[in-house]
């Protein structure tokens, strides 16, 4: 089954924006120059954008903004964790929106991107037209415990390699152990973390070879990710659920893979139950990856359906 995405498109604009404390974020725009604005928020934390991320949106309708978050991808300095918090990322989005002359935009985020989308929407609801979220992650201790410890029931071989020689009395202890090593540029530890993450995400997905990543890029990505996990994603307990009242009026489509192990359906169900205006679309064959054919089809359908919900959002 082929990916259900729009044709590849090149950006019509790209650049770097100075956002303070020595950070510069990379951004690009594609689609229709005068289209309805949407912003793509990548996962991780610590990952980056890639050309396939442009393809979830109708290029004749949407003006799509994509960016690498602080310390990620082509943003500089790569792997920097100082002055890198959820609040910083939220305000970076505001700076970028103003820089591009956008009044309001639709948010599209998956996994950690869904976390950031909710945090931004709750802080700057007047700048948001709607949300499309995938593989919801709310930054809770329960979710981290599931990822770090609970998933050993599904991938015991990968988990044994992941946990070897590290403290396993709690998820937070294991994450701190990895964070300390990756902060000191331990490439082997970073690779072990990524191998476990990849094993978990591969369950239920079509087999395929991952792209080769150089050691420095790998360490930078994992350093940012663990920085956020050690600090509870810089969110108060249940902050995102408690803050839904401020965006109750906004349309939202939650696309959730039934077979998503890292971000299981229960979290999406909780979000939907607390946000009555949202739609929850369960993809029975889908996992965590947005590029699973069933997931890509559901996400393209969601951005298409969102058009009808964005009446009055055109620039």
Q: Which positions are annotated as active-site residues? A: 111, 260, 288
Question: With the C-alpha atoms ordered 64, 16, 85, 150, is the resulting torsion angle positive or negative?
Answer: positive
Please choose, from the candidates 171, 124, 120, the residue with its C-alpha nearest in 3D space to the C-alpha of residue 144.
171
Return d(Cα 287, Cα 157) in angstroms, integer: 20
Structure tokens at 310: 């964005």
Return d(Cα 105, Cα 71) in angstroms, integer: 24
Phi, psi of 305 (to 5 degrees): -65, -30
Return d(Cα 211, Cα 92) in angstroms, integer: 29
Please choose, from the candidates 12, 307, 46, the residue with its C-alpha nearest in 3D space to the C-alpha of residue 194.
46
Return d(Cα 292, Cα 264) in angstroms, integer: 16
Return d(Cα 20, Cα 35) in angstroms, integer: 29
Which residues, 6+ apart, have CB-to-CB distance to 246 below 8 Å?
Answer: 121, 122, 125
Burial letters 290-308, b for 16+ CB under 10 A, else e:
bbbbbbbbbbbebbeebee
């Amino acid at each position: 089954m082929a990916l259900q995405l729009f044709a590849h498109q090149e950006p019509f604009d790209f650049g770097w924006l100075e956002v303070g404390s020595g950070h510069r974020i990379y951004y690009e725009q594609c689609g229709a120059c005068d289209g309805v604005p949407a912003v793509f928020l990548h996962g991780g934390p610590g990952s980056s954008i890639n050309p396939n991320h442009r393809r979830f949106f109708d290029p004749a309708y949407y003006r799509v903004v994509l960016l690498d978050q602080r310390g990620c991808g082509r943003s500089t300095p790569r792997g920097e964790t100082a002055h890198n918090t959820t609040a910083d990322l939220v305000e970076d989005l505001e700076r970028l929106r103003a820089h591009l002359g956008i009044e309001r935009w639709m948010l599209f985020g998956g996994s950690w991107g869904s976390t950031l989308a909710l945090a931004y929407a709750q802080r700057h609801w007047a700048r948001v037209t709607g949300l499309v979220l995938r593989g919801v992650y709310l930054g809770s201790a329960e979710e981290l415990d599931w990822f770090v410890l609970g998933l050993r029931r599904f991938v015991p071989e990968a988990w044994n390699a992941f946990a070897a020689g590290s403290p396993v009395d709690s998820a937070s202890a294991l994450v701190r152990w990895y964070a300390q090593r990756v902060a000191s540029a331990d490439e082997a530890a970073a690779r072990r973390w990524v191998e476990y993450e990849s094993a978990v995400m591969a369950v239920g997905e079509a087999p395929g070879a991952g792209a080769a990543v150089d050691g420095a890029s790998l360490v930078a990505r994992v350093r940012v990710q663990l920085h956020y996990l050690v600090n509870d994603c810089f969110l108060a307990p249940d902050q995102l659920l408690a803050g839904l009242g401020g965006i109750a009026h906004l349309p939202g489509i939650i696309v959730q893979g039934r077979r998503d192990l890292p971000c299981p359906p229960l979290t999406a169900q909780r979000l939907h139950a607390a946000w009555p205006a949202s739609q929850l679309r369960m993809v029975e064959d889908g996992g965590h990856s947005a590029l699973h054919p069933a997931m890509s089809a559901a996400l393209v359908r969601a951005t298409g359906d969102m058009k009808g919900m964005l009446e009055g959002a055109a620039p």
